[in-house]
Amino acid sequence: MGNAFQGPTWEPWRAILSAAFALPLSPERRALFDGLAGGREPPTRPVRELWAVAGRRGGKSHIAAALSVYLSTVGAEVLGTLARLSRGERGVVPVIACDRAQARVILGYVTALLESSPVLSQLVERQGREEVELSNGAAIQIGTNSFRAVRGRTMLAALFDESAFYRDEASANPDTELYRAVLPGLATTGGLLVGISSPYARRGLLWDKFRRHYGQPGDVLVVQGASRELNPSLPQSVVDQAVEDDPQAALAEWGGQFRGDIESFLTREAVEGALRNGLLELPKLPGLGYRAFCDPSGGGQDEFALALGHREGARYVVDLLRARRGVPAEIAAEFAALLKSYGITRVHGDKYAGTWPADEFRRHGIAYEAAAAPKSELYLNCLATFANGRVELPRDDRLVAQLVGLERRTARGGRDSIDHPPGGHDDRANAVAGLLGLLRHGGAAGFVIETTPGIGTAHRALPEIMR
């Protein structure tokens, strides 16, 4: 690969990759490996999986590109993965990133590495927007985290870039589902699975691999390194500034440590246990008092969501959930007609949406009242209903993914906040949480948890939960 990885800056990665492929380690590289691998012995044979928990600017994308080139060319010959293909079959090396933009960045690195080598450049047969086909029967393809898109392929290797930040609106566990979908594609060739990512919360596929395999012998190698451990050329001043701005975030982004201040708000079991079998939307029935809560959107990628439901004794039923992208005024008109069909003349909603929702709904004969409680308290108010199994939800995949993806963060002062993860959405979850609060508190918009100085919000909610 020419001069792309020359110099002492890349020595930590050379130590990691030498160990992963069971190559001899010099004393210097052995010392680097020991510091990054949790004290385990170097593998005696090439590993089945390599997971690198790495700080930002540690060279992750460059290494992902280099590995994809190696594992589709020289490495495919050395490891024998090409020889296991059927005649006429093309072996794929997918490089899967968080989004299309990052995937194209990696493809740019791949193309540059191939073009800069007089030997490897001769293998390039065709180059497209999302793949490079090689004359040896291999192809490097970029993609995003869709477990459906990788099925049915024979893979020489697979690389997960920034897997701790995979998001899928239709899946609550996109990283794990992708992992399970990739394994059969590697079964024929025995290809290597590589995951390289900055850490985030203590959950998900990356955390599971770290928890089970870091520092442990076996054919799954997990390494962990701070940004400057993996890239000694990174100025210390950059890290120091990040620590000053946000110590907890800096510990993950630059220190390579999983965050201890973030945890899941609702378990998947609690949410899936609330899903009803049968109709996605329940028809209006006489004698029921319906309530509605909406999360308006001004357009763009956010959805305009509306949840409508009623109370049956101690149970809270979400009769329907609708979410739309498009022209907000048109969606407001559609939702107003829907509300009237259920006998509802007042809808509650997010107070941060400004005055336009009230103006739009008023045009169609619906009063709009903003909730007094902030979003975090809307979520905390509905926690007890899930814990007690008193919620009935429509079987909506995006709603499940949003509810399970909610994160509880504890600030320095001890106060909890609930929100979606970076790059995620919570429009449907917010509408449902607001509706559950309305049903629980008799339709009042100002439902607010009592506060006590010095105690975290989650603990303040406990007396109400116990009742």
At residue 361, the pLDDT reads 93
What class does CATH assign to 8-259? alpha beta
- The pLDDT of residue 299 is 64
Name the helix (H) or strand (E) containing 262.
Answer: strand 262-264
pLDDT for residue 412:
54
Q: What is the pLDDT of residue 238?
A: 86
Of 355, 347, 354, 373, which is closest to residue 446 (Cα–Cα)? 373
Per-position pLDDT tens, the chain of length 467: 777 888 889 999 999 999 999 999 999 999 999 999 999 999 999 999 999 999 988 889 899 999 999 999 999 999 999 999 888 889 999 999 888 888 889 999 999 999 999 999 999 999 988 899 999 999 999 887 776 667 768 999 999 999 888 876 655 568 888 899 899 999 999 999 999 999 987 888 999 999 999 999 999 999 999 999 999 888 888 888 887 777 777 877 888 888 776 777 888 888 989 999 989 999 999 989 999 999 997 666 789 999 999 999 889 999 999 999 988 899 999 999 999 999 999 999 877 666 788 899 999 999 999 887 777 787 887 887 888 888 999 999 889 988 888 888 766 555 667 888 777 788 999 999 999 988 987 654 444 332 223 323 333 232 332 23
Q: How far apart are CA 251 and CA 379, in angstroms?
A: 27
The domain spans of the chain are 8-259, 268-466
Rounded CA separation 426/420 (Å): 6
Domain 268-466 has CATH 1.10.10.10: no
Contact (CB, 8 A) for 416 and 264 = no
CA dihedral 103, 264, 251, 59 (to 10 degrees): -20
pTM of the model: 0.69
